[in-house]
Structures are given as structure tokens and as C-alpha cells.
Amino acid sequence: MTLPTLSLGLVGARGFTGSELLRLLSRHPRLKVAFATSRDLAGKRVADEAPLSGSELVFEDLDPPSCATRQVDAYVLALPNGKSRPYVDAILERRPGAVILDLSGDHRFDDAWVYGQPERNRAAIAGARLIANPGCYATALQLAAEPLLPVVQGPIHAFGVSGYSGAGTTPSPRNDPARLSDNILPYALVDHLHEREVSAQLKAAIYFTPHVAPFFQGLSVTISARLADALRTRAELVELLVSRYRGERLVRIDEAPPTAKDVRERHEVRIGGLEVSRDRTHVALVAAVDNLLGGAATTAIRNLNLAMGLPELEGVSAWLN
């Protein structure tokens, strides 16, 4: 039996995450890109920018009402923070039954939207119509910290370093190769979006300090917290992580601390390097994820699959090794 193809529109296809989505969707057996928008690339063939072989699709410059007139099953909004609202409003008015997946941070705190982290929220994502994709740092930080919450006390501290693709394509000091050369750039040292996002999701105090380094892709987060029970052993804490993610194909528990390079162009989150202080009062561990894939595009595909009744890893499993 031939299964039906589902269509989607990608709004904001020029960005780094949009490009990765097009690449993943090129091998998805059931999801077909019906339109892709980019003001800068309007009129150019999508196949010239992304591997949609055989596709005659061209990038279009569409305003929100024009996007909402397109008869697709799902709309993926790969727009900068603060830019999705006009598109959401137009789509809800004209296409209320369609799935909307927002990759920006605009709806991660909105109770009307389902928070799209499959490992933590799989049942709610299935069949959902409004899905807020999690942030890249937030993905790694939540998956590493959540299993430890019952055994730590006080705030969780996290030191993050990402490649400059996380700053997007719009020129800024955070993606300026000259400024980043032989350098590391701290920014948003309090109240970062992902700090607030993870604190809200885990219902715990998270103190997060992000930095940008002179590599393109991938991120690493080092997490530190005080143990509530000083008798906890490293083996017990590792088992908390292993048991929590047993059966999860896209979470890997490592012995050694994972690095940003370890996850580059990969789809899983890696967590490892867990250590306990000599007096057994302090625990630290490291999580790493590709900010464009496992921290964004891969999760988006999984969320679309769950929302539209498809196997969660369809279109992703072909890339796993």
C-alpha cells in the first residue's frame, strides 16, 4: 500500500537551520516541501542551494497572508526570534487545522503551544497542532540536567560554548570571524533566553553563561551542581542517566566528556564525563549537541513526524550511523 505524502511550507529557508531542514527533508519518504521562502534567495532554484534533487521549486518572497493561502499540511517557521507572530496569526485565521512548528523562541513560554522536546514530551507532541521547537543549548542542558534533579539542591550552573552558526546569518560580533579569531566571546551572561527556557521547563533554578568560539557548528555545555545527598557515588549518578535514556536512539551516554567536534554533523545529544567531588557534595558533567541538527533541525523533523502521525525517526534514521 502506498502511503500518502504530506506537504509542508518552510518559512525562512535561507538560515543555517532552514538549510539543514531542506537537506534532511530531501530524504524524507513522506514529507514533501511544497514551498520555501527567502527574501534574499527569491527566484533561485531550491535545488541549487539544498539537495532537493529533481525539484523545480524556487525560493519565494511571501508575506504572512500569502504563506497562509498555501494549502499545505504543516508550516515550519525558521525565523529569527520576534518574527513569527504575523505568520502564526495569518495561518491560524486561514488554515486552522494545519500544524505550525516554530523554531524561534517566540512560543516556548506559551501554554497554548506544546514544547517540542520528544524525550521529555513525546505524548503531548503526538497529534499537536502548535509546537514550539526547543533551543539548541536548552536541548543539551535539559537532557543532561533532568535526571539529576532529584539528587541535587540549589541552582544548577551551566557554562556553554557554541560555534558561531548559533548567531545566525545576520552579521554581528558573535559571528564575525575576525573578532572570534583566537578568541572566545561571552554574551548575555544573565537572563539568556535558554536560561529562562530551561528553568521554566525543569521548574528549577538554572544559571547559564553562554560563549561563542571560532568554530562554525556544535556546542558544549558543562553543568555543575551541589548534591543533596553527600553519599551519592559516581556509579549511582551515571545509572540515573543510563536508565533515563535507555531506548532513546538520539541520546548517548559517554564515559568521557563529549566535545563539540564529537557531535558535529550528527543528530544525537551526547552526555558524559560525569564526575563527583572527593567529598561527594558536588557533581559535574558535560553535554554536547550539533546546534543546527540535534539542537534544531533533527528535533523539528521528529516533532513533525509525531504531530502528523508518522514514525518519530522517519526521515532521520537514514542519516544515523
Helices H, strands E: what count in the chain? 10, 13
Helix axes 136-145, 118-125, angle to 10 degrees: 100
Specify the DSSP element, H or E, that contains 242: helix 234-244
DSSP state of 4: P
As a whole number of angstroms, the distance between CA 131 and CA 102 comes to 6
With 0-12 CB in 10 A as exposed, 13-18 as middle and 19+ as buried, what is 145? buried
C-alpha cell at 157: 550552573
As a whole number of angstroms, the distance between CA 129 and CA 99 comes to 4
What phi and psi, each to the nearest 5 degrees, are found at residue 168? 80, -175
Residue 136 bears catalytic tag: yes
**Is the CB of residue 190 less than 8 Å from the CB of residue 316?**
no
As a whole number of angstroms, the distance between CA 117 and CA 82 comes to 21
What phi and psi, each to the nearest 5 degrees, are found at residue 200? -70, -40
Closest CA to 292 of 194, 167, 128, 109: 167
Q: Which of 24, 91, 136, 296 is catalytic?
A: 136
Query: Coil, helix or strand for 83?
Result: coil
With 0-12 CB in 10 A as exposed, 13-18 as middle and 19+ as buried, what is 210? buried
| Residues annotated as part of the active site | 136
